[in-house]
Structure 1
Amino acid sequence: MNSTIEQKGMPAEPTLELLQEQQPAPDEMTFWRKVKRSSKKLGEEIAVTGIKSWLAMTDSQTSVRHKAILGGALAYFVLPVDMVPDVLAGVGFTDDMAAMTLAANSVGTAITDQHEQAARDKWHSLHEPSVKAD
C-alpha cells in the first residue's frame, strides 16, 4: 500500500459510482431545462462551455476523474442555491461561469473538438426562430 487513500480502504482511482455518491451529477432533463431557460442570459461562450462540458461528461471516452470534475461544476450550475443568485442582473451567473470555466480548463483534452462543435450547434439550434407551417 503506497497511498494514504489505499491505507484507509479506498481505491486510489475512485469509481464513477463512488464519486457520484459524493457529488451527484445533474440529470439530463434538469441540465437541458436550465440551459434552455438561461442560455440567453449566459451568453454564447458560457452556454457553450456548459454544453460541451455536459457532452464530455456523458462521453464514454472521458475518464472517471474528468467526469467527476465536470459533473461537479455542472451540478453547481443546476442547483437552485448559488453563492451569487442567478436572478441578479449582470452578476447572477458569474459564479456558475467561474465553476464551469475552471472545470473545462482543468480537464484539458477531455473536451474534444467534436464536443466543442456539437455544443455550438446545440446553442445555435436553441436560438433559431421557430418555423411555423402555413
Structure 2
Amino acid sequence: MTIDDEDISAFDADKMQADKKLVMREFAHKLKTNIGKIPFADEVTAAFYCAMDGSTPASVKAILFGALAYFIMPADVVPDFIVGLGFTDDASVIAAAIAAVRSHINDSHRDKAREFLNK
C-alpha cells in the first residue's frame, strides 16, 4: 500500500498535530541519547526530514508523525530500556510507515539525515 494523495480524512488531524508537537520537541534528544542502540537511525531520521518537508502531502505526514511519536514514547509494546529488544517494536512501526510512504522519502531527506547523524 502506498499513500499518494492529499486526502487525510482517514486521519485524525488533532492527533497528527499532537504527534507533530511531540516529535518536534523530543526527536533529536531521543535519537542522540540512543544513537548506538538504534540500527535504523538513518531511516528514522530521513522519515523525520520527510515529515518536516513542506512539500510532503498531509497524509504522508500523518503516517510519519504517528510512527515517529511511537518511536519517541518510552512506554510502548516493548519498553526501550530492554537491551537487545527495546527498539524492535519501534523498528517495526517505522518500517511499516516507511513502506507505506517510501516514494515520498527522497535523496534530500536522506542527505539531511546523514548530515545530522554525522554531527
TM-score, scaled relative to structure 1: 0.75
* Structure with bigger RCO (C-alpha 8 Å, 6+ apart): 2
Letter in 1 for 2:57: S
Q: Distance in 2 between matches of 1:22 and 1:119?
A: 25
Residue 55 (structure 2) aligns with: 61
Residue 112 (structure 1) aligns with: 106
Deviation at 1:13, TM superposition (A): 2.5
Letter in 1 for 2:27: F
Equivalent residue pairs, number? 110
CA displacement 1:22-48 (0-9 Å, x = unmatched): 3432332311110111111103xx111
Residue 82 (structure 1) aligns with: 76
Residue 38 (structure 1) aligns with: 34
Residue segments in structure 2 that go unaligned for 5+ positions in a row: 1-5
Among the aligned pairs, what percent are the same residue?
32
Residue 117 (structure 2) aligns with: 123
Residues 47 and 64 in structure 2, CA contact (< 8 A), matched pair in contact too: yes
Kindly report which structure 2 residues correspond to 1:3-14, keeping only aligned pairs within 5 A, or say none.
13-14=7-8
Structure showing greater radius of gyration is: 1
Deviation at 1:54, TM superposition (A): 0.7
TM-score, scaled relative to structure 2: 0.84
Letter in 1 for 2:66: G
Q: Distance in 2 between matches of 1:103 and 1:122?
A: 21
Letter in 2 for 1:37: T
Residue 94 of structure 2 aligns to a residue whose secondary structure is helix
Letter in 2 for 1:85: P
Q: Distance in 2 between matches of 1:14 and 1:120?
A: 30
Q: Distance in 1 between matches of 2:102 and 2:44?
A: 15
Runs of 4+ in 1 over 2 A off after TM superposition: 12-15
